Amino acid sequence: MSNYKADITLNEKDSLQDMLNLEKSLVKIYSTAITEGCSKGFRTLIKSHWSGAVEDQMKVFLEMTEHGYYEVESAPETMLSEHKNKFMKVKSQLS
C-alpha cells in the first residue's frame, strides 16, 4: 500500500516545524485558558504551563534558525521608527 502513514517519515526540518507549530498552538490555548479561568490556583498553574510553552517555542525557533530552516530578516530602521511613532501616538491618545 503506497503512501501508508507508517511508511512516511519526517526529516529534521519537518519535525522541527511540527514542534514549532505545536508550541505556538499551546501558547495560544494557554493564553485563552488564563483569560477564561477565574480560580487563582488554576490561573497560576496555567501561567506556569504557558511560560514553559513560550520557552520551548523559543528553543525550537532558535534551533531552526541555527540550522538555516527558518530565516529571519531584520526590518529597516525607518520601518521600526515609523511603527514606534505610530504606537507612541496611539499610547498618548489613550492617556
Structural domains of the chain, count: 1
Residue 15 lies in a domain: yes
Angle formed at CA 64 by CA 16 and CA 68, multiple of 5 degrees: 130
Residue 2 lies in a domain: no
Residue 56 lies in a domain: yes
* pTM for the full predicted model: 0.71
C-alpha cell of residue 19: 514542534
pLDDT in tens, 37-93: 999 999 999 999 999 999 999 999 999 999 999 888 888 999 988 988 888 888 888
Residue 4 lies in a domain: no
Which is nearest to 45 in space by CA: 32, 58, 30?
30
Query: Structural domain of residue 48, as residue ranges?
Result: 10-94
Residue 5 lies in a domain: no
